A and B are shown apart, each in its own frame.
Chain A
Amino acid sequence: MKYIVAVIQPDRVDEVLRLLEEKEIHLVTVSQVLGRGRQKGIAEVYRSHKEAGALLKKIKLEIAVNDDFVQTTLEAIVTGARTGNIGDGKIFVFDLKDCLRIRTGETGGAAIG
């Protein structure tokens, strides 16, 4: 089992979710986050007072999958989120020790899907 965390551009969310759904990956947690990468954000100006490198809005996706879905998930995210421009984001893959479905009490791989 893997826990996949992806930080992507807000305007690519719909496309990524569509591709994930095509591959029958339905369970995903989405949050709005702030962050910056190598481009150091974008300067904001308020009455000529500049704030250099203000944080940019990004979307964070969190997806738990069984091992046979990992490659498909990564491909869907990369395909949907890539524009070729700076700031397209990153994907992090973690080993997932366990998972528990609260309603039924199932654990492990059976609880993920």
Chain B
Amino acid sequence: MRRHLDRLRGWLFLPFVFFSLTIPCFADVAPRVDTGDTAWIMISSALVFFMMPGLAFFYGGLVRKKNVLSILMQCFVTICLISLQWFLFGYSLTFGPDVNGVIGNFAWAGLRGVGLEPFPAYAPTIPHQAFMLYQAMFAVITPALILGAFAERMKFSAFCVFMVLWSTFVYNPVTHWIWGLGGFLRQAGTLDFAGGLVVHVNAGIAALAAALYMGRRQGFPLRISPPHNLPLAVLGAGMLWFGWFGFNAGSALCSGQLAVSAFVATHAAGSAAGLTWGILDWIFNKRPTVLGMITGAVGGLAAVTPASGFVNLWGALAIGVGVSMICYWVVVFVKAKFAYDDSLDVFGVHGMGGIWGSIAVGLFGTQAVNPAGANGLFYGGHTAQLVVQLKATAMTTVYSLLATFLLLWVVDHLIGLRVSESDERIGLDLTQHREVGYTLLD
């Protein structure tokens, strides 16, 4: 009897879980295209796309002069490769008809059946293709985040193969678990508003795996390589911040109140985190640094991503202040202790930021902001949601770590991951692309 009751409760709960991301905007809305919502999602898609050149310049400014083009190239080839992967079969594997809660099938491959009418279970007021396009931008930027971990040492050919494999075997399934209809973590009630687990934990942990598998750059950690162009990195960080409004506020999948709330939370957390890192720098290094401040801001934006649609201003500020403290500790002390060469601190900032933000949903989430969310520990929700979040974070972490290791091993044995020592010394721009970013004369 008890078992039957439990099952009944599960079934009653299911619809709420399925519509958890969409209810506040579209409660009782019949599936019909809303032009305002569609306009906002198209703009949001473009905003998220704008994060790609932002990321390229953020990372590009932080590497040495001789490797700047390799970073820009890796970002741009990721756009082309993964967009096509997404249209051809990635979207179907991620959001298509469920197979055992683990992955979608190929029914929507080549966008078969993904038309201009809404698909109500994902978003009832925008064309299905608009939802697909918006998600394509997430699919593109997530693997691109990882490249910061192995910057300045991976072969371009290996990079291309690794990106497609990682998207197919890590991004597509993990995103299905959390956002896809029937995904097992979604059914367990996991809350991830704009991709804290899907994007930041997933990519951050993959980055750690890549840094460990690839090994350190020559000279690390005795000789550091200062960023070759910090103004470029600041420009990139600014573009990322700008794009993040589409990333988080667009995840409301409508242009309603929830989008505004997510926008506020996003901006608040980014600001608080940037300032906190600046203050930590001031305390520990006697000077607030530019790189520190932009690092903090990016960390804050990453951390608030999963929570942006579930927390109020105070939750966002707590996430922002907390993430800089956590990431500062990891980047400065933990990385130094274990001496792994995560070139641009992708694990330290995105990985740890995503983990903190995903757990923070279980602490600061409140249904006053989003009835489809849950009350966290500090809003009378006890530990139920916190446990759900911890489990989902652990699942994502373990899978991403192991699967990424395996894929790196496969690519390493197929074509070799690392450039030769002399190529690394000369730089990837010249050895991989026969181009240089800056000429001495003219």
Contacts and interface: CB of A to CB of B under 8 A. Distances in A.
Interface stretch (A8-16, A42-50, A91-99, A105-113): A42-50
A49 B281 contact: no
Contacts of A49: 224, 332
Contact of A46 (B227, B284, B328): B227
Contacts of A44: 226
B29 to A, nearest CB: 47
A21 interface: no
Q: How large is the interface on B (under 10, 10 to 19, 20 to 34, 35 or more residues)?
A: 10 to 19
Interface stretch (B31-39, B195-203, B288-296): B288-296
B285 interface: yes
B226 A50 contact: no
B227 A48 contact: no
A48 B224 contact: no
Contacts of A51: 224, 226
Interface string A15-50: 000000000000000000000000000001111111
State the main secondary structure of chain A at its contact with B. strand
Interface in B208-252: 224, 226-227
B345 interface: yes
A48 to B, nearest CB: 4
B313 interface: no
B226 A48 contact: no
B377 interface: no
B226 A46 contact: yes
B291 A47 contact: yes
A54 B226 CA distance: 10
B284 A47 contact: no
B225 to A, nearest CB: 9
B226 A47 contact: no
A46 B226 CA distance: 7
Contacts of B331: 47-48
B345 A48 contact: no
A108 to B, nearest CB: 31
- Chain B CB count within 10 A is highest, among A44, A48, A50, A51, for A48
Nearest to B290: A46
A45 B287 contact: yes
- Chain A CB count within 10 A is highest, among B291, B328, B345, for B291
Interface of A: 44-51, 54
23 contacts: A45-B281, A45-B285, A45-B287, A45-B289, A46-B224, A46-B226, A46-B227, A46-B289, A46-B291, A47-B291, A47-B292, A47-B295, A47-B331, A47-B332, A47-B345, A48-B281, A48-B285, A48-B292, A48-B328, A49-B224, A51-B224, A51-B226, A54-B226
Given A47-B332, A48-B285, 12 more contacts: A45-B285, A45-B287, A46-B224, A46-B289, A47-B331, A47-B345, A48-B284, A48-B328, A48-B331, A48-B332, A49-B332, A51-B226
